[in-house]
């Protein structure tokens, strides 16, 4: 296994900037997700690392070795494709054994057999080794694709949306399997996905991309709770975040948010509140940024406009006196009806604030 480094890497397709000035350093043994909407540059990044594309500028290193001009077969990487790319004319055994039979790897025949069988057992496809890919289900094909990558001991694993063709429940199970796999082989994994839940649940760190630029590189906690800008805040999270522009009224380390129509108190201390002094900022509230409160002090009166049961939780949509539409995640057992008055409290640790012009986060949490 190896570290991976992108140093000022750019890639253009004609006039379109696919990737601009990427600086990304992945430590050895990390599970890093590249997250972003389609066309954000995440797949370009992966293909550059795989050698399927050539960078226009910058250096790409795997470990200490600059690989810009090394062809894919000499980079010692393994890749799982979104389409699985199983060789249709080969059995499962031959598919998994294929990387070991390459001239470069020179693995003795007996060892090939042992390693393929071992990988087949780990992935639970040992009974399918003599079958052809078209005789397998989607989940089985996915496992074989994974097996073909695992059978070697590559410097880096590249996974290009490997779960996107599976049904919802299998996808969630495979997340756990992949994470367990990473824990066991402790290899460097670069994982491309547009599904933030996958990225948040498996990665040691996440790189969020938008329009060819790296927006933020951080742990799942940082990405979710301390997004670097409005794009990351909005892209990550199951539901849309509520953004609104307002002025901060700071008093010591407590804060009130003044919109044109009303003043929203923040219940509790905010260590970095001083940084908001005099700022007209964009504030962001997720469903978890609010809680239902019993007290009247420091809370926001609102009227429930919609109640959406979401399995274990209920999402309560409520409109404030000033006409701001907020949402709040509450326990599924809560009895609440449309039209009833409620009081909402902003959870200080979950309040997000951004510079109005640049969209960059303001560190209100200290």
CB of 132 to another protein, least distance (A): 7
* Binding region for another protein (CB under 8 A): 50-52, 71-73, 75, 77-79, 81-89, 98-99, 102-105, 132-136, 138, 141, 148, 158, 165
Residue number, 159 or 236, with CB nearest to another protein: 159
Distance (Å, whole) CA 21 – CA 118? 42
DSSP 8-state assignment for residue 162: T
CB of 142 to another protein, least distance (A): 8
Residue number, 141 or 282, with CB nearest to another protein: 141
CB of 164 to another protein, least distance (A): 10
CB of 135 to another protein, least distance (A): 7
Per-residue burial over 50-85, b = 16 or more CB atoms within 10 Å of its CB, e = otherwise: bbebebeebebbbbeeebeeeeeeebbbbbbebebe
The token pair at 307 is 């109640």
CB of 105 to another protein, least distance (A): 6
Among residues 314, 317, 310, the alpha carbon closest in space to that of 340 is found at: 317
Residue number, 35 or 151, with CB nearest to another protein: 151
Residue number, 26 or 208, with CB nearest to another protein: 26
Number of Cβ within a 10 Å radius of residue 38: 7
Contact 318, 326 (CB under 8 A): yes
Number of Cβ within a 10 Å radius of residue 332: 11
Residue number, 160 or 210, with CB nearest to another protein: 160
- Residue 19 neighbours by CB under 8 Å, 6+ apart: 9, 10, 11, 41, 44, 45, 48, 212
Residue number, 140 or 327, with CB nearest to another protein: 140
CB of 161 to another protein, least distance (A): 11
- Residue 221 neighbours by CB under 8 Å, 6+ apart: none
Contact 327, 239 (CB under 8 A): yes
């Amino acid at each position: 296994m190896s570290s991976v480094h992108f140093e000022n890497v750019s890639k253009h397709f004609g006039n379109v900037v696919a990737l601009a000035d990427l600086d990304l350093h992945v430590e050895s043994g990390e599970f890093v997700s590249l997250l972003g909407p389609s066309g954000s540059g995440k797949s370009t990044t992966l293909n550059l690392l795989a050698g399927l594309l050539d960078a226009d500028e910058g250096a790409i290193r795997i470990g200490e070795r600059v690989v810009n001009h090394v062809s894919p077969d000499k980079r010692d990487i393994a890749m799982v494709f979104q389409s699985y790319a199983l060789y249709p004319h080969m059995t499962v055994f031959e598919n998994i054994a294929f990387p070991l039979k390459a001239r470069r790897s020179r693995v003795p025949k007996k060892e090939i057999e042992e390693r393929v069988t071992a990988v087949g057992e780990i992935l639970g496809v040992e009974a399918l080794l003599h079958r052809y890919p078209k005789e397998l289900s989607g989940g089985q094909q996915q496992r074989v694709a994974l097996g073909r990558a695992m059978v070697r001991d590559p410097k880096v694993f590249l996974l290009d949306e490997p779960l996107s063709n599976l049904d919802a429940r299998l996808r969630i199970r495979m997340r756990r399997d992949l994470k367990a796999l990473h824990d066991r082989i402790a290899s460097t994994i670069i994982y491309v996905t547009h599904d933030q839940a996958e990225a948040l649940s498996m990665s040691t760190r996440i790189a969020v991309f938008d329009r060819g630029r790296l927006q933020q590189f951080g742990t799942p906690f940082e990405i979710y709770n301390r997004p670097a800008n409005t794009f990351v805040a909005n892209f990550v999270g199951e539901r849309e975040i509520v953004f609104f522009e307002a002025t901060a009224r700071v008093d010591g380390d407590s804060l009130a948010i003044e919109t044109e129509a009303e003043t929203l108190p923040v219940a509790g201390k905010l260590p970095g509140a001083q940084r908001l002094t005099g700022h007209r900022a964009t504030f962001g509230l997720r469903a978890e940024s609010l809680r239902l409160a019993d007290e009247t002090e420091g809370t926001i009166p609102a009227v429930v406009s919609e109640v959406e049961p979401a399995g274990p939780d209920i999402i309560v949509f409520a409109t404030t006196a000033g006409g701001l539409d907020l949402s709040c995640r509450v326990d599924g057992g809560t009895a609440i009806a449309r039209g009833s008055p409620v009081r909402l409290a902003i959870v200080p640790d979950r309040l997000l604030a951004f510079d109005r012009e640049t969209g960059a986060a303001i560190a209100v949490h200290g």
